[in-house]
Chain A
Amino acid sequence: MERTIPNILIIGGGVAGMAAAIALADQDVVVYLVEKENGPGGQAAKWACMATDTCENCGACLSIEMADQVKKQKNLILHLNTSVKNLNKKGQGYEMVLENKISFFVEKIIMATGFSPFNPVQINSLHYDAYKNVITTADLNTLLKDETLSRYFNQKPNPKIAFIQCVGSRNREQGADYCSQVCCKISLRHANKLIHLYPESDITLFYMDLQIIGKEIRPLFQSLSKNIELTQGVPAEILENSQTNMLTLVSEDKETLSRVSKAFDLIVLSVGMQPSQTLEATADLLDLEPNSWGFFNTVPGVPLKDVVVAGCAHGPKNILSSQQDGRIAAAKVVEDLGLNIKKKKGIAIFGEGVQADQTALSISSKGYPTYLFGPGTTLSEDTAVTVLNKSRMISLSGTAGNFSLYYESKNKKQTLTCTAIIAAFEPKQTLNRLNSLKNPCLSLDAFSELIEKTPNACPDETAILLDYFGPEFKSFAGLALKTAVKAKALGKNISIIMNKMLVYGALGQRHYDEARQKNVDFFRFETSEDLKFKDSGNGFLIKLKEATLPFIELDLHCDCLVLPPSLSPARGFKDAAALLGQTLDREGFLQSANTRHGLTQSPRKGIFFAGTCHDEADPDDLNTEIDEILSVFSTTHFDLPKIDTGVEINQKMCAQCLTCIRICPHSAIIMNEKNRPQIIPDACFSCHLCVSNCPAYAIESKTLTNDQIARKIKKDTVTILACERSAALAAGPLTLPDRISLIEIPCACRASSDVILKALLNGASKVIISGCHSENCRSLKGSNVADSSVRQVLSIPGVESSKVIWEPIAANETKKFEQIISKA
């Protein structure tokens, strides 16, 4: 029987649409990607690089790289500058007509129409259209990208800049009672970038509740809070001083107990996300009903069977979450079309708590033989999960699709072969204590359980204390809200004392609104010093300097004081990281922050992370992470190595020094049965680090040997060795002058000192090595390796320091690239 290849339509070429398309690259399908702009990339492609000395993990550069990938994708047909005009149900799919009259039949549709930044013209009092120096975060991105921001400062070395959060978000009166999820992070990164560019600038960030969520934002907030002024309270009006032409904001002044007006050179409105207008039109065509905000993140936004919604059409998301959502959408399509019928191989899961059990259960329910290294306490007796409790891990070898796990169980050494491993450990929970108190406090978990199981025992007056021991974790803030509403329903008084409320997730703001409506009392404090606790009978007296009432100290009595625990890396994380060949992040949790590998993956293919062992995650996040991991399983053929890595080990020259095995960032080189190092193609990312570092010159690049590079060097030209996923992409839109010659390299680490020296010897007037910003390298240390190669060459007597330069340039830093070559 003849099998027709299914057609899949992706509407929208932004991050989610591109991620979905790329996830379908290895599938036997034809992907039609329709984008209304003149190229794929979406909103993220308009954003500036937020890197300072290191990458700040915003992910914007990924959109440029993904666009490049999409353009080269073999099973993809790109329709640009057009949109869907008509869609008619026909048999098992849709007959689709584009604005440009082209029509075709599609089986499945992925709707990835993205978002539009909120347009503040709608809010008269902000005078966005009238005052030149009132801009949005979207405008700031453009200005940073074009390197034209300075003209706003009139040559002032110390410009005063304000950020105003929540413009177009968290506003029920404007029909936007949702948090846009990304704006706090964007503004914090922007402020960080501005401090980097203008060290003397004076930055104030006006916020409602600063959403400090996630592993990359916590450390950024800690360092940034020392360099900028953070003011709670968002001004809703901007006025211009007619004498000085400075912009003026009025805010409460805690010192004088009055209000104060402050003058600024530039005011940045941190605008929220709205559904794109394309979404509305497309939803109409498909007869889908979005929710009251225009998104599909809550009911009634449940789409039809043949349509999968992805990315910001689903609701506000950051770049990495959009990418994640795109992948999940692709997997859904693959599943619906029945394309993932290949034999499902074993998956190992590590972890000793609910999260690991939940992960194991979800994976096993999709038909994968699942092995849980942990007690599996919450799993039922008849579970399909094989529970391998009380096993001691010894080592891990092999690569994705073919891992061998060596472990010891019941004093016997055992081996498990599996396709992939998911680390879902539990972090350490420390019960917090208030030392000054004799009366016992209750943990948040215990209080929540008490409300659920013995509601009659709920005390009359309860206070839940958040943020006291550091910025709260979102799962605890969420649990506090939920529990408080339940206590209120029992007729009890309940207060939440906090520095800020985290309103993450589609319904976060609505949950917070509901709690206030139901008269849960909320108190704000600025620092933990604003609070004093005393025992009072069997309960407590809390003396509180409330942030909104700074002229008075409030006395709050409660029978019961509830404290959430603190989360910290568990003792086993280090060993687990070592076993998996991974590094820990700055705070000691699993998975180093690196946007190149998305939210759940690692540089070693087949190793995944889920839950709170690697990032802040609530139960919803965990489910999304599991979905993403499953999407990788269903769209990747781990056991079919077919990538030509372009790298070979010449076994005759190999000295078996094992350097390559030791340094490979992807653990892609193994010792084979002949005791020889062997590159496993499907685990290799072709970074060429081994090529640059093999002391015996035994590892050869087929297309990019040192000699081949040397031959490309032109005399008296500036040679730029540019990483193909960053600097070379940044150069893409430019026409380079003849005095510049660009050589694409797979990773900055390919520029070994040998290569640089050869370039100089062959007459290059200057050698610039350019790659990703530190910590954004897909192969982790590539940029650092290139940097040290440059320094090594410069340490040779006679090499002028102006002749060899290391410049990190991200894929979205075209202007920076232009500036560098114009000076070269």
Chain B
Amino acid sequence: MDNATINKESALYKLLNQYPLGDNTSECLTCGACNSRCTWFDGEGGPLPRQIIRMAALGLDELLVNSDMLWDCLVCNRCTQVCPMGITMDKVVRKARSLAIADGKIPEDVKIGIKRRLETGDVNGLTTEEFVETVEWVSEEFVDEVDDPKAEIPHDIKGTKLLYLPNPRELGINLLHLTAMAKLFYATKETWTLSAHHTDVTNWGYFVGKDDITEKMALMVVEPAEKLGVETLVLSECGHGYHVLKYLLEDIIGRKPEFEVLSMPELIVRYAQKGVLKFDPGVHPYKIAYHDPCNIARKSGGYDAPRELLSMVCDGVVELIPNREDGICCGGGGGILQDSHSTPKRMITGKPKADQIKATGLQNLATACLSCHRQLGELSKHFKLGVTVDTVASLASEALIL
């Protein structure tokens, strides 16, 4: 058996034990509640949340930084939800990851993605020319789609009411999703725009716990949006993007932004309530299960908008058990999905989710995060669930009455 020496002078110990109530790891009661909530619950390996906290609390930095647990953690905060001392696992893991990175330990794909994002504003390294080319081409298709010669997908227009911040996938392998969103913006009859500075809703700085990078990436979104003078920043369906740009934003940039932040489902629900957007639920004549993205639901309190919207565009929402604040992670959270080597692991982390979906006996599943969407699709295939996975907003787009 290996051995380690308690070190109260360690960097992590100093980082974490100076936190006030709630995030001070030395407050850990060692009650073990967290262990029972880890989404890896039926799999081998994976993190034991209490061990992470204990390593941090006792200054065993080296152990923790070298532990697979650190990168296997899905940062879903299911454990945090039940912690009697309110210790936020998400903060602890991200702080520890930041130390690991200083030590050169970071999944290669994540490292490359962060580099590209900081250099070009897009994790996939999409250049401005590529952006303009892509958007203008999609815009032409869009005219046919809505059968209106005046329709367009505008970009870089100043002073519009709405600014859409897409997921990089919408400008890459999932262009249809962008068209679907454009249709909804079109139907709101509001002025709206895309922006060459706003191609990426993600913020991987958050995954790796580098506060400076997280802030920089957030400002890369905020400042150009303020320059454009938009009223509302509309986020594509992205879990951690929502958590960072809506829930944490003021803490991260230290001020209120000059615009309101809404997720796509929140925007649609607002216009539906005003009676501007109308849907035909008959387009989806089936009941649908809804998967709560951890970052939107448990970590930001965004439970209702996706459900309200689904109930308008389908034959009704069926809850997975458990759900909402107790919802189970899809198995792709915390940056694991962004590591291309993680697929076998993700089929272990996703097993509880797959079981949950199977138990509903339904063929349709929706979620409000494109990362969850990808992971759930892969789960359906791997576990032969025969489930079609859609995003909430794309279903709304399909059911839209123009």
Contacts and interface: CB of A to CB of B under 8 A. Distances in A.
Interface string B1-45: 111111010000000010001001011111111111110111011
Residue picked from B32, B57, B326, most chain A C-beta under 10 Å: B32
Interface string B83-99: 11110000000000000
A239 interface: yes
Given A171-B84, A517-B26, A166 B31 contact: yes
Interface stretch (B47-55, B214-222, B286-294, B372-380): B47-55
Given A171-B84, A259-B48, A235 B36 contact: yes
Given A552-B4, A553-B3, A555-B4, A258 B45 contact: yes
A124 B1 CA distance: 40
Contacts of A173: 83-86
Given A125-B326, A173-B86, A516 B31 contact: no
B82 interface: yes
B46 A259 contact: yes
Contact of B1 (A208, A493, A513, A552): A552
A524 interface: yes
A543 interface: yes
Interface in B206-247: none
B326 A232 contact: no
A554 B32 contact: no
A267 to B, nearest CB: 12
Nearest to B326: A125
Interface in A218-236: 232-236
A252 B26 contact: no
A548 B359 contact: no
A206 B321 CA distance: 24
Interface string A536-552: 00000001011111011
Contacts of A549: 51, 54-55, 58, 60
B355 interface: yes
Contacts of A177: 84
Nearest to B42: A261
Contacts of B283: none
A332 B57 CA distance: 48
Given A521-B26, A521-B58, A555 B6 contact: yes
B28 A516 contact: yes
A259 B38 contact: yes
Contacts of A495: 6
Contacts of A258: 44-46, 48
Pick the most buried of A256, A495, A549, A553: most chain B CB atoms within 10 A of its CB. A549
A556 interface: yes
Contact of A233 (B5, B32, B85): B32
Contact of A516 (B27, B35, B37, B44): B27
A555 B3 contact: yes
A553 B6 CA distance: 11
B13 to A, nearest CB: 9
Given A125-B322, A208-B32, A250 B38 contact: yes
A124 B325 contact: yes
A555 B7 CA distance: 10
B112 interface: no
A184 to B, nearest CB: 14
Interface string A418-443: 00000000000000000000000000
Contacts of B86: 172-173
B91 to A, nearest CB: 15
Please classify how large the interface on chain B is, using the bins under 10, 10 to 19, 20 to 34, 35 or more: 35 or more
A555 B29 contact: no
Contacts of A170: 29, 31, 84
Contacts of B24: 517
Interface in B335-367: 355, 358-359
Contact of B6 (A232, A249, A554): A554
Contacts of B57: 521
A456 B128 CA distance: 68
Nearest to A543: B3
Given A259-B41, A517-B26, A549-B54, A233 B31 contact: yes
B63 interface: yes
A28 interface: no
Interface string A229-260: 00011111101001000000111100010110
A259 B8 CA distance: 28
B40 A259 contact: yes
A552 B3 contact: yes
B29 to A, nearest CB: 7
A88 interface: no
Contact of A552 (B2, B29, B35): B2
Nearest to B25: A516
A555 B48 CA distance: 22
A174 interface: yes
A395 interface: no
B34 to A, nearest CB: 8
Nearest to A206: B32
B37 A125 contact: yes
Contacts of B33: 233-236
Contact of A208 (B5, B29, B324): B29
A407 interface: no
Contact of B31 (A234, A239, A547, A553): A234
Interface in B52-88: 54-55, 57-58, 60, 63, 81-86
A130 B321 CA distance: 11
Contacts of A259: 35, 38, 40-41, 46, 48
Contact of A172 (B2, B85, B326, B355): B85
A519 interface: yes
Nearest to B24: A517
Interface string A274-285: 000000000000
Nearest to A512: B29
Given A125-B322, A171-B84, A552-B63, A234 B32 contact: yes
Interface string B306-349: 00000000000000011011100000000000000000000000
A522 interface: yes
Interface in A486-519: 493, 495, 513, 516-517, 519
Contacts of A545: 1
Contacts of A125: 37, 81-82, 322, 326
Nearest to A555: B5
| Pairs of residues from A and B, 9 with the lowest C-beta to C-beta distance, nearest first | A233-B32, A235-B36, A236-B82, A236-B33, A171-B84, A553-B3, A250-B41, A242-B359, A555-B5
7 contacts: A172-B86, A208-B29, A234-B31, A235-B35, A237-B322, A552-B63, A553-B1
Given A125-B322, A208-B30, A548-B50, 8 more contacts: A173-B83, A236-B37, A252-B32, A259-B41, A521-B57, A553-B2, A555-B5, A556-B6
